Amino acid sequence: MGKFFLSIVVLAMLSTPALGLNQTSPMGKLVYIIDQYPPFNFQEDGKFKGISIDLLEKMLNRMDSNLNRSSIQLLPWSQGYQTALKERNTVFLSVARLPEWDSLFKWVGPISPTKTVVFAMKDRPVRITSSRDANKYKIGVVHNSAEQLLLTRVGVNAKNVVQEEDDNIIIKMLRSGSPDIDAWARAELPGIWQLNKSGIISKDYEIVYELGDEVELYYAFNKETPDSLVQEFQGALNLTKQEKSADGTSDYDKILYRNLPIRYVNEDEPIIRLVNKASLDIEKDAPGTLMKIRAGEHPYKDKNTLTYIYVYDTNVTFVAHADNPTLNGFNFKGMADVTGKKFADETVAGAIKNGTGWVDYIWTNPAKSGLYYKTAYYRLTVGSDGKQYIVCAGKYRSK
């Protein structure tokens, strides 16, 4: 994933005997190997930052331990990778969980999705719409990186892959107009960060191709790590994601919000049509329609588009939720996103005042890790039972 990795040695370990994770346990010997991979983990201005580091710290706190960031040091890629692969008590952060690597480690995650793209300088005539096009160019990657595997997966010939030990070497080749390279395969956010750091501004480069779908980043534990220890880390991560504060957000949400640019998708018309249909059905047969929505029946839930209907009463309580039946009967009054916006209250108030409208907020995506902009369309409806309902459906947005 890049040449440099950071090694974090956890010095302060657990003291709770019931968990079996005291200083003499495997936990007390763990070494964390971390790529210079912003915004997930990186060093900037002498400080170590990023999602996977912040998240690891929260996980360890839940396990009654602490992360000592002062022990972080840089290691070359080859040394870091070989250490994590061969030595016990080592953990790789953040690693794309690809099938080619799946059996090499034990995994805890996901941390967040990442997208791999191909960058090119705008003054070079690089146009790629397929793997066949990609084979017309020489594409730089770090040796044995995830990017190299992804290029191979989409059918790029090995002779067209220029392997280097450091992304900075590839960036210098691009910048100088070297005839030995035409483009660079890199995860999107780290790539943009590295280009900007090197002094290449956005008007001088472009993304010319995407290497498949997003992949999830994980903590990769050495294969010899006890299953029980890996499971405790997974449990701590799950709780960090799931447990919500009074404002309705988790520590995981807040960490992502501080570090990640938010993504969007805009497909408004299907949402409006779905809400209108559900509203008309409730006007005709409120009990029967609400029962179908709670059961997640089509068309009130579309598994392909992740679109679904949810219905509030005027007290901001869910009376029907097609995607998450555990929310039925749950009151969302005062529930806020990571920015503090009380979107549920705003939805109900807007519907009562205006009849229909839109509300934008930031929320997790059930199909992926990470925070995304979401927009929801709502409509005030009087059911066949004479009660008022606020019928809603939302979509994740992307520019």
Note the pLDDT tens digit of each residue in 98-144: 999 999 999 999 999 888 999 999 998 898 888 888 999 999 999 88
CATH 3.10.580.10, domain 268-396, yes or no: no
Nearest to 393 by CA among 373, 378, 381: 378
Mapping DSSP to helix (H, G, I), strand (E, B) and coil, where does residue 322 land? coil
Number of H helices, E strands in the chain: 11, 19
Which residue stretches of the chain have pLDDT < 70?
1-28, 70-74, 76, 247, 262-268, 365-370, 397-399
Give the pair of three-digit tokens for residue 114.
């990442």
Structural domain spans, the chain: 4-111+216-259, 116-210, 268-396
217 CB contacts (<8 Å, ≥6 apart)?
40, 52, 94, 95, 96, 97, 109, 110, 111, 112, 113, 114, 369
Q: According to the model, what pLDDT value does residue 94 have?
A: 87
User: What CATH number should be reported for the domain whose range is 116-210?
Assistant: 3.40.190.10
Same fold, 4-111+216-259 and 268-396: no
User: What CATH number should be reported for the domain whose range is 4-111+216-259?
Assistant: 3.40.190.10
Mapping DSSP to helix (H, G, I), strand (E, B) and coil, where does residue 69 land? helix
Q: According to the model, what pLDDT value does residue 82 have?
A: 78
Q: According to the model, what pLDDT value does residue 185 have?
A: 96
